[in-house]
Structure 1
Amino acid sequence: MKKTPFRLTPYQVQWLLIVGFVSVGYALYLRYLAIEFSTVALACDAGLRTVLCTSRSVATALFKNNVFGIVAVVIAALHVIRPSIVLLTGGLIVAGLGIVLYNVALSGIAIGLLILGFARPAPATA
């Protein structure tokens, strides 16, 4: 049985660039303008009910329990076993969120595994 290498088309690369920038951009927004910004933190802790405060509390609960890193490693391991654009997209989103939102170690391992998903034997030449 011959395995073909996993290669991305130019459209898939553009899709991954857009998804990566949006996920890391949202994580930066959430970290610096919701979690670490003192006026927003004080308002949310005082009981303000907005979408930003809900996003802040969900993100805080997720990164305190290393959910971003664990999910990123699981998706990346599945991508190494069976590479697909869907797994690569999901892994990129979760790993980008994890790197910015304090789950650096596991998300870094996941990024390494996502890159390893491209390591397939070269096609044999005749």
Structure 2
Amino acid sequence: MNQRNFLPGARAWNVILVLGGFALGWAIYMRYALVEQSAVGLACLGVETGSCIARRTVIELFGYSAFGIAALATSIIQLIRPSIPMFTLALMATAAGLVMYNNNLSGVAAGLLLISFARPWRGARD
């Protein structure tokens, strides 16, 4: 039985691009509008708003390299057993990790995502 390599179809690519763009946009907003702004940091010293809680959570997750670890873990799962939902999650985590200061692990995850296109795919339609 000859199996094709992992390659999503046109409809799947539309969903992947929209969700990947959403994750990238969220990460850019969090980094440049909330985390890096010193005025926001000073405003959040004594206030508990939703933005301040999100800012504090993102900073804590960055401290533990959670974005990079999530990107690497999902990319390894995608490499072992390719599927469209796992590829989408790995792409979203990698995009967020690259923007949110976890470049080392997210860069490796991006490389693994590229390699996953060479893997045989059981979900391929002939």
The runs of 5 or more residues in structure 1 that have no matched partner are 122-126
Q: Structure 1, residues 59-87: CA drift from partner, whole Å, max 9, x if none?
A: 10111111111111111011011000111
Runs of 4+ in 1 over 2 A off after TM superposition: 1-4
Q: Share of identical aligned residues, percent? A: 39
| CA distance, structure 1, for counterparts of residue 118 and residue 5 of structure 2 | 8
| CA distance, structure 1, for counterparts of residue 50 and residue 21 of structure 2 | 22
Q: Structure 1, residues 43-68: CA drift from partner, whole Å, max 9, x if none?
A: 11x12111111111111011111111
Alignment-derived partner of residue 112 in structure 2:
113
| CA distance, structure 2, for counterparts of residue 76 and residue 114 of structure 1 | 6
Q: CA RMSD in A?
A: 1.3
TM-score, normalized by length of structure 1? 0.89
Alignment-derived partner of residue 25 in structure 1:
25
Which amino acid letter does the alignment assign opposite residue 8 of structure 1?
A: P
Higher relative contact order (CA 8 A, sep 6+): 2
TM-score, normalized by length of structure 2? 0.89
Deviation of 1:7 (Å): 1.6
Deviation of 1:93 (Å): 1.1
Alignment-derived partner of residue 123 in structure 2:
none
Would you say 1:103 and 2:110 are equivalent positions? no
| CA distance, structure 2, for counterparts of residue 2 and residue 71 of structure 1 | 32
Deviation of 1:2 (Å): 4.2
Which amino acid letter does the alignment assign opposite residue 32 of structure 2?
A: Y
What are the within-5 Å matches in structure 2 for residues 2-17 of structure 1? 2-17=2-17
Q: Structure 1, residues 12-45: CA drift from partner, whole Å, max 9, x if none?
A: 111111111111111111111101111111111x
